[in-house]
Structure 1
Amino acid sequence: MNEKTGFSLNGYLMALILAVVIPISALNLNPIWSASVLVSLIILALALGCLAGFFMVQPNQAKVMTLFGAYVGTVKTNGLRWTIPFFMRKNISLRIRNFESGKIKVNDNQGNPVEIATIVVWSVTDSAEAVFEVDDYESFVSIQSESALRNMASSYPYDPQEDEGIALRSHPQTISDSLKKEIQDRLDKAGVTVHEARISHLAYAPEIASAMLQRQQASAIVAARTRIVEGAVGMVEMALEQLKAQNVVELDEERKAAMVSNLLVVLCGDKHTQPVINAGSLY
């Protein structure tokens, strides 16, 4: 069911018309003023009944109108409005709202349990679908957002893997775009538009948090050590080339190996090395 514009008139204009019709009809009830009392009585009754047709539309709100169970349209024009008194009118907000889900536990695509939560910014854009297609559109948004969050979180790893670059922790914008699309696909039938969806909480579940922290620390240590070794090898290579180019000293293979070993110990060691002065000859 798609939204359509309902019938309504300017309320101030209608109030002015009734302000003229009602007194005249009331005066015509006196036989001295009119020959047809019955007609004046009917006009007065209709005019008084029209008073029930006034309603107010606040900014960024709408009135969904039905007639004996049939949808007849939606009024979004702000201010005082008037419509047929038999129309039933239900108020619905078109304002942008925030929804924050609770922390839910879900397994990522590596099977690791994680805690995740999201913030969804949404608004109603089709009042007819929001009112008639779902029983409670606010509850529908809440439940479907959490369902989409579970499905999205199980499609990506928590940390980036070598064979898959996108991860929950390392690609927040990509994850947000994926989550927004996932939620929007589920809420289209409810006349709701998702403006933004972002992860508000992301962490490993408590039962594996300490183990995963150790793994992250180990990965960081390995990465740092790799960079140190790469730099140390480059420095040793540069030192040997400069010694050879400047003819400072000629080293055989055995002493080159000893020099490389000593330099690598100095450059790659966790602690400061103690220098030892060689007081003997060259060999």
Structure 2
Amino acid sequence: MSTTTSHTPEHEGPSRPPTRLIQNEATTEIPVHLLFRDEPEPRPVPLAPAVVGSRTGTGEQPRLRRPAAVKSRPMAEVDPALVERPARVLPGAAGVAAGLCGAAGCVATSWWAGILPPLVTEALRLPAYSGAGLGPAQWAAYAGAGALGLFGLGGLARGRTGHAWVLDLFGRYRGTVRRTGLLWVNPLLLRRRADVRLRHWRSEPMPAADGNGMALRVVALVVWRVRDTARATLGVEDHETYLRECVEAAFARIPVETPGSVRFSVEATGEALTRRVARDAGAIGLEVYSVQPVRVEYAPEVAPAMHRRRIAALDAQHRATVLTSVVDSVEDTVTRLTMRGLVELDDYERKALVKDLTVAFCAGRGEQSP
């Protein structure tokens, strides 16, 4: 039997363990591109303070901070300068006085021109005067007195509780009148009546969806009022239409649970809808107090299928209840018979008795159920 002896070449020294490419023994993973580089890469630039979680000598790639959350969508906003402010008006007595002065001026001019009827002259106890005729002076007096009377009487307005007048002149907002009673408003101003009372609006069936995306039809009751008459009247074309569209948009974004669902909560759904509609409608001066769904039903295209599903669920629940009641009754009967020593049963007889009792109880419950 021959023995093979290995000799170490003279030009080689004693065997040494190979040098590790990476000195840190805690390395868990090595990027592949670092092992096959032909040219040395430039020295890396120090990372910004946004780099977190990097550990020296582990070969782990630095982890960057997550980008900041996306800002929420901007809220709707009308002209910031369009804010309600009180308009300048006068008491109604000023308009009445101006109208009477204009009428008196017309009568005096007619007497001056000599065209006043004798009956009127006698009724007013005016002195007899032949008259100077209708000349330029008389026509100018007629124009001034008539303008004064029309300007005074034409500016009379009646302010009512719960209503306001929004005034603008040639497209420029001039103020809001919330006063009540007889008032005098500049007749050159355009008046827009605004209802500032607390109002209830019951919507028509609107499209919505539940948490599972099932199509619904919802009727909502909205409690609201006009807070800023300038924005509500001049900020949009029709603030009632705008409010209705805000409610429709809220139903499209917020799921509405049906009364039969486990997560159904009228308060939670109403609060979410109210917050959404109040934020959207507040930009045009509307104040929304409550948005409550008063009727929730499935859309016509899915209503038959959901009705069958609900009947099947109720039937399954009824069967489970009946079976539980039957099992409890059978168990109680068998336990009483054996505990009192009325019968002695082996396994086969016990199974047969349980089977017979179950059939009997199920038949009895079936006859009792409608």
What interval of TM-score do these two structures reach, taking the shorter chain for normalisation? 0.7 to 0.9
Q: Deviations along 1:159-217, whole A, 9 cap, x unmatched?
A: 755xxx324xxx44543343333322221112223344343553333333332222111
Contact (CA 8 Å) 1:156, 1:166: kept in 2 or not?
no
Equivalent residues of 2:202, 2:222 under 8 A apart? yes
2:173 corresponds in structure 1 to 71
Q: In 2, distance between residues paired with 1:212 and 1:251? A: 49
Calculate the TM-score normalised by the size of structure 2: 0.58
Match of 2:98 in 1: 18
Task: After superposition, give the CA deviation of every residue in 1:223-261 in whole Å (9 maximum; x if it has no partner).
Answer: 112222222232233223333443322333332332222
What secondary structure does 1:50 align onto? helix
Paired with 2:107 and 2:302, the residues of 1 have a C-alpha distance of: 85
Give the secondary-structure state (helix, strand or coil) at the position aligned to 1:187.
helix
Q: How does 1:124-163 map to 2 (within 5 A)?
A: 124-152=226-254, 155-158=255-258
Q: Do residues 227 (structure 1) and 324 (structure 2) align?
A: no
Matched residues in 2 for 1:134 and 1:23: separation? 42
1:48 to partner: Cα distance: 5.1
1:83 paired with 2:185, answer: yes
Q: Which has the higher helix share?
A: 1
Tell me if structure 2 keeps the 8 A contact 1:99–1:121.
no
Matching of residues 77-226 of structure 1 within 5 Å: 77-95=179-197, 96-104=199-207, 106-152=208-254, 155-158=255-258, 165-167=262-264, 171-199=265-293, 201-226=295-320
Instruction: Please give the alpha-carbon distance, in whole angstroms, between the structure 1 residues aligned to 2:148 and 2:103.
Output: 13
Aligned-partner residue type, residue 238 of structure 2: D
C-alpha separation in 2, matches of 1:109 and 1:77: 49
Aligned length: 257
Instruction: Flag the 1:140–1:259 CA change in 2: closer, same or farther, 3 A.
Output: same
What is the CA–CA distance in structure 1 between the aligned matches of 2:183 and 2:95, rounded to whole Å? 10
Runs of 5+ in structure 1 lacking a partner?
31-36, 274-283
The 1:198/1:248 distance shift into structure 2, 3 A limit, reads same
* Identical aligned residues as a percent: 25
The CA deviation at 1:130 is 0.3
Partner of residue 159, structure 2: 57
Cα distance in 2, alignment partners of residues 174 and 101 from structure 1: 22
2:85 is matched with: 4
Which amino acid in 2 is paired with 1:93? Answer: D
**Displacement after TM superposition at 1:43 (Å):** 8.4
Name which of 357, 360, 368 aligns with 1:263: 357
Conserved? CA contact 2:157–2:184, under 8 Å: yes
Root-mean-square deviation over aligned CA pairs: 3.5
- By relative contact order (CA 8 Å, sep 6+), the higher-ranking structure is 1
Structure 2 counterpart of 1:14, which letter?
A
Residues 229 and 88 of structure 1: is their aligned pair in 2 closer, same or farther, counting only changes over 3 Å?
Answer: same
The Cα offsets for residues 39-76 of structure 1, whole Å up to 9 and x where unpaired, read as xx698555653333221223321101124433232112
Runs of 5+ in structure 2 lacking a partner? 1-81, 113-136
Q: d(CA) in 1 for partners of 2:257 and 2:292?
A: 17
Within 2, Cα distance between the matches of 1:19 and 1:133?
Answer: 36
Q: Which residue of 2 aligns with 1:281?
A: none
